[in-house]
Chain A
Amino acid sequence: METTKKPSLNVLPLKERMKVPRQHMLEQPPLLRATNFTEVNLGYSEELARQEALRCLECAKPACTNDCPVGVKVKDFVQLIVAGDFLGAAAKIREDNVLPAITGRVCPQEDHCEGGCLMGKKVQPLGIGYLERFVADYEQRHLDISNLPKATPTGKKVAIVGSGPSGLTAAGDLVQKGHQVHVFEALHTPGGVLVYGIPEFRLPKQIIREQIDYMKAMGVEFETDVVVGKTVTLDELLEEEGYDAVFIGTGAGLPQFMNIPGEHLNGVYSANEFLTRINLMHSYEFPKYDEPMLDLHGKNVAVIGGGNTALDAIRSALRLGASKAYVIYRRSEAEMPARKEEVKHAQQEGIEFRVLTNPIEFLSDGKGWLNAVRCMRMELGEADASGRRRPVAVEGSEFDLPLSVAVIAIGTGANPLIQSTTPGLKTNKRNYIEADVMTQRTSRRGVFAGGDIVTGSATVILAMGAGRRAAKSIHEYLTSGAW
């Protein structure tokens, strides 16, 4: 291992650092938080953050940065926390990540930075996510954003389609290069899945608003109520509105249903609809907000699926008063794609996990409303293409679970609005847009794409990584003109 050139600011000898325990983040107690939409995690204090930062081993070849899809210089920002320069730490993160308050909350750090942390081989890894969140929140409280430095204008215009994680990241990187960046959003509020998909208790809307305000202060323009493909086509943006390049980051749009009997019954939702009603439309504040929600008080509610979206939905249902809240998942807990922290939080809150269980029919009360779900028990067979063991139905194991509301969270498909109105834009078999894995270039000159509309459902940080790669190659294209 090489030695670091800069002298360390950390006075703690290396071998002592492993002895410092990982600092816990304060959380709302489970039974209290299960009744409100306030954030579960409460954040580090300055003292806790500095204490945690002391644990960093300052590896010469830091795996944390290498494993981060946007390449945050973890070691450097952690050193600035050690030195007590929290704004400096925030600025250091921002060199690579324009949404630190968001990633600090929703990133699956165990799969990226913290998963790579050397300390994790012996003890608990450095709390990188918690530290990132701390500096981002500190920056929000202390930094005056009215006079952010602006890059020299290049005279080039870039349209970003979709204001979710990939679009915002691309926008942030491009505006810092001096390009004029205009973000189009189909809904009435910018933020995409961050706004309609992720609940308040995991990512408060205020945080998203602040991050967007920061981007506006950087010079990024936002236009809501524009559905590209309907309100304006991609070709019109390039030919009539004078954009030099377009980035498509529209996300995975169409909710998938199970195609089992009874799916049209009242009380059966897609996770997208259920979460959109709650998060975007604030139906949990009905009648202060107009968009209604079925009254879940005292009702049995189940989500079908085992991803983060499924857990977001069922934990929301619990907060809306559900008396029984189930996760129905056809494989075992080990195969569940949701973050471990979210599974733990959900279990603490009293959500019941019915694993190795697969719904086969939604049953009606005879008046068009959901009354129960008929399920089969499953067992794990041979590994399938995804490497996970394939669930196989146990014959004769049918049973009915009484249920008033079911939320289907088994994934999404590609929204076709842009593909179907943009000639020459290549798509794959599943109608996702084809884009180069390194440059995010599509089959159309000047058009780039990234995030879920290319890969299918993934995570916020992977979409941000794509946005970052796209911004880099858009900048190269705009400066060289070469395709």
Chain B
Amino acid sequence: MFKILNAEFLAPGIKRFVIEAPRIAHKQKPGQFVILRLYEQGERIPITIESSDPERGTIGIVVQSIGKTTNMLNSLNSGDDILNVVGPLGKPSEIEKFGTVVVMGGGVGTAMTYPTARALKGVGNRVITIVGARNKELVILERELREVSDVLMITTDDGSYADKGFVTDKLRQLIENGTRIDLVLAIGPIPMMRAVAEMTRKERIRTIVSLNPIMIDGTGMCGGCRVLVDGKSEFACVDGPEFDAHRVDFSVLVQRNSMYRTAEQKSMEEFQRETVQTRECALQGGRR
């Protein structure tokens, strides 16, 4: 059992948790993830570690409600327990002095860019951070990112905050303005990472993406998270999760991530129906 010490919504549907996990906190490096399971019948899901505090023995994760498990997780609060948390898994991000690094986060991926941006800044890189969200409400970690970035650019799809547009628009501007870029790190939805990869491929700018395939054990045992990199199968859990964006076959990633779409929808619908029933029952003062 892993206790939740703090839980707060950063934006609608996006929650940050601080979890007691001393072993993981002691070892975590930027770019690594945990796998967690909420209850006996639960699935195992990978989530990137957003921060860790070895002294307090805690780790932070940021979770967006998407399917059944993330919705259930986001209904938990301080004092609740998570049944299993294992990690830190995956290879850490490569942290060294590259020069100028553009760190790009899309949606909840923004939270995952934070530890890496901070570490890259810590070793003396010039860090330009570009984060994008659908609208003003969904812009997260602005203050934290500003602290670790030399330049912070924010875009919203609807223009309700900062600049209207996508993170790739900002990247294109940087490239067109002749900004020297030594490395791009992009974490977010697959279409965003793919678009970044296509843009930087032409410019021959080294680009790293953090992939999120379906995973079970996270230790290399099952091979379910295999991604096609340079035409060869690699396991995101032990060889990744970060890969050279220009070598990744994004179509295969999209296709494999859709493998259980029907089952996932079924799970979510049942979960929603149950949640509604529980609420209606509670409103009527009854018990399920």
Contact = CB atoms under 8 A, between A and B. Distances in A.
A272 B222 contact: yes
User: Which one of B86, B238, B266 has the greatest number of beta carbons of chain A within 10 Å?
Assistant: B86
B221 interface: yes
Contact of B44 (A232, A291, A415): A291
Given A188-B37, A270-B224, A288-B41, A276 B267 contact: no
20 contacts: A186-B86, A187-B217, A188-B44, A188-B84, A225-B85, A226-B23, A227-B219, A254-B221, A254-B223, A264-B249, A266-B258, A270-B222, A273-B223, A276-B216, A286-B267, A287-B267, A290-B42, A295-B262, A415-B220, A416-B220
B56 interface: no
Given A188-B37, A254-B220, A287-B267, A224 B84 contact: yes
A368 B254 CA distance: 10
A102 B255 CA distance: 40
Q: Decide if the interface of chain B is mainly helix, strand, loop or mixed.
A: mixed
A277 B214 CA distance: 12
A281 B256 CA distance: 19
Given A232-B27, A255-B221, A290 B68 contact: yes
Interface in A229-274: 230-232, 253-255, 257, 259, 263-264, 266, 269-270, 272-273
A30 interface: no
Interface of B: 23-24, 27, 37, 41-44, 68-69, 83-89, 216-224, 226, 228, 233, 235, 238, 249, 252, 255-256, 258-260, 262-264, 266-267, 270
B270 A281 contact: no
B43 A291 contact: yes
Contacts of B89: 227, 230
B216 A277 contact: yes
Given A266-B258, A276-B221, 12 more contacts: A187-B217, A230-B219, A231-B23, A231-B27, A254-B235, A257-B223, A264-B256, A269-B224, A273-B222, A290-B42, A415-B219, A416-B220
Given A282-B41, A287-B267, A292 B220 contact: no
Q: Decide if the interface of chain A is mainly helix, strand, loop or mixed.
A: loop
Contacts of B219: 186, 227, 230, 253, 415, 417
B216 A281 contact: yes
A148 B116 CA distance: 52
Nearest to A240: B26
User: Which one of A282, A287, A291, A417 has the greatest number of beta carbons of chain B within 10 Å?
Assistant: A291
Contacts of B69: 290
B119 to A, nearest CB: 18
Nearest to B32: A230
A266 B255 contact: yes
Contacts of A282: 41
A292 B37 CA distance: 14
A417 B263 contact: no
B86 A270 contact: no
B223 A272 contact: yes
